[in-house]
Amino acid sequence: MKIFIIDDDREFSNVVEEMILRGVGSVEIKIQHFTNAIAAINATAEDVPDLIFLDVLLDGPDGFTFLNEMQSYEDLAQVPVVLLTSLDFTGRDLKRYGVVSILNKSEMTPEQINKLVEQYGRIEAGKGEEDDK
């Protein structure tokens, strides 16, 4: 399973990675960090992720620029995206961008992160690396 974490705050993205890794047990997960949208889009040419955690306010092009670019590629448009933000998107439907959930950075919990990884990360319970071959 491949997860992209796109956030210009590396310390915060490390916290998100720790939350993910603590909750997945023996499932092998490859996590890539990106501090800007351009690097993340460039990386998708080689490696399409199963799930993306995305900050909206990034240095350079913002998260919505990234989402718009994703939607222009058939394979990327299918990747579920979780927005991690301190902005209020209450009442906004962002499904057309592939957004499956919005978590407030200051209130999110490891349980929320892990539930999303299980739900959208294409993990089968009890499956490890040897079962993926």
In a domain, 131, yes or no: no
109 or 24, which is more confident: 109
Count up the domains in the chain and report the number: 1
The answer to the question of residue 132 being in a domain is no
Find out whether 104 and 85 touch, Cβ atoms under 8 Å.
yes
pLDDT (average), residues 58-87? 92
Specify if 32 maps to a domain: yes
Give CA–CA dist 20/35, Å, rounded. Answer: 18
Stretch 23-29: mean pLDDT, rounded? 77
Domain of 12, CATH number, reads: 3.40.50.2300
pLDDT of residue 126: 39
Q: Using the 8-state DSSP alphabet, how is residue 15 labeled?
A: H
Domain that residue 115 falls in: 2-126
The pTM (predicted TM-score) of the whole model is 0.86
Mean residue pLDDT across the chain: 87
Per the domain annotation, does 133 fall within a domain? no
Polymer length in residues for the chain: 133
Mean pLDDT of 40-69: 93
- Is 99 a residue whose pLDDT tops 60? yes
Query: Residue 28: pLDDT above 80?
Result: yes
